[in-house]
Amino acid sequence: MATVCPIWGVEAINPRRSIPWSIMITIFICFLAYSGVSAALTLMVPYHQIQPHDPLPQAILHSWWLPARYFVAIGTLCALISRLYSSMFRTPPLIYTMAEDGLLFRVLTRIHVRTGTRVMAIMAHGVTLHVHNLVDLVSVGTLLVYSLVAFSILVLRYQPDQNLSKNENTEEEIEMPVPDEHPLDSEPEARNSNILKSLWFPISTIPTRKSGQIVYGCASLLVLLMIILSLILVQWSSQGFSGDSKYTPVAVLLLLLIIGVMVIIWRQPQNPIPLYFKVPALPVFPLVSIFVNIYLMMQITSGTWAIFAIWNVIGFLVYFGYGIRHSLEENDEQQPPASTSQTLDKNTRSPESS
């Protein structure tokens, strides 16, 4: 992590390598804070008496230190207000930038003459803002983004390098079984055996296009299995995890399938390119993260998911109906061929002709 500074001749910390450690230390501090509050709350009040909508003030209300509930309530209110303000300050500039590019309607780029504020973007954000829905939708969006990040890490670590020559891919395709060596009846069986063999015993020690496709397909299958398992666990937990539940064999079967597919991913070769920071314990660590996020998302109410789906449908309609045709970025990408040809014609002209 230390490098020699060329000017002072002393060792300096590489900032690109120190960033992952700073993120991990920050997350660990937040983990300790949240875990400490949860442990203190459970020690103060039995878990079945905790109020889910107002846990800390109600827990302190049952304890001997009654005046502390006012401080806790004020702190909770300050945290909610800061969260709302951060959302209000972050979203209007995003709406304005998207409208300026053409992804949203141009009327949202209107700026107040006297104050110079993005008045239409702020009003559009204020109309669609609701405190209760905002908290739930932020939770869904945050968990979904974390799941996508973990899925991307899992898939990209097993993909081949983009700088590899095409000869390696062609060599891989040439190594297919020759039809003359086997009878016509045994061709499907030979292909199936080769596919199964490549799942458990990859031919190459570095990632190939075939191994990358295997990992992508297995990771997508794991996400589907985890969604089904999370739904079963949520329904099972609502019944108190009774021992004679009908969900037990289904949950065990899903766990065995998840472990089997995870072993297939583990058998595939990883990308050997050295990086400043790599997520450890692949593929277990990203899959655990995805499962925890999916399990938390499955516990969100159906009304929140309905609102989330409605806003997604509205966003897709606006994008495919208006934004994709009016986007300046899309138009700029289509113009360079003509402009480059014109510049080439201008550059090739002789001074005498001009």
Of 301, 321, 342, which residue sits at a domain end? 301
pLDDT digits (tens, 9 = 90+) for 73-90: 788 788 877 877 776 677
pLDDT attached to residue 331: 61
Mean pLDDT of the chain: 76
pLDDT digits (tens, 9 = 90+) for 272-294: 888 777 888 889 999 999 999 99
- Asked whether residue 197 carries a pLDDT value surpassing 80, the answer given is no
- Asked whether residue 16 carries a pLDDT value surpassing 90, the answer given is no
pLDDT band at 6 (very low <50, low <70, confident <90, very high): very low
- Asked whether residue 253 carries a pLDDT value surpassing 90, the answer given is yes
- Asked whether residue 182 carries a pLDDT value surpassing 60, the answer given is no
pLDDT band at 194 (very low <50, low <70, confident <90, very high): low
Whether residue 247 lies inside any domain: the answer is: yes
pLDDT digits (tens, 9 = 90+) for 159-179: 887 655 344 444 444 444 444
- Same domain for 44 and 144, yes or no, is no
Whether residue 324 lies inside any domain: the answer is: no
Whether residue 203 lies inside any domain: the answer is: yes
Give the chain's domain count. Answer: 2
In the DSSP assignment, the letter for residue 47 is G
- Same domain for 152 and 278, yes or no, is yes
- Asked whether residue 339 carries a pLDDT value surpassing 50, the answer given is no
- Asked whether residue 18 carries a pLDDT value surpassing 60, the answer given is no
Burial environment of residue 215 by CB neighbours within 10 A (0 to 12, 13 to 18, 19 or more): buried
The whole model's pTM is what?
Answer: 0.65
Structural domain of residue 39, as residue ranges?
Answer: 13-63
- Among 43-47, 238-242, 256-260, 309-313, name the one with the lowest average pLDDT: 238-242
- Same domain for 143 and 257, yes or no, is yes
Provide the Cα torsion 281, 286, 289, 291; round to 10°: -110
Whether residue 56 lies inside any domain: the answer is: yes
Angle CA 84–87–91, to nearest 5: 145
Whether residue 276 lies inside any domain: the answer is: yes
Whether residue 344 lies inside any domain: the answer is: no
- Same domain for 159 and 36, yes or no, is no
Nearest CA-CA partner of 175 in 204, 199, 217: 204
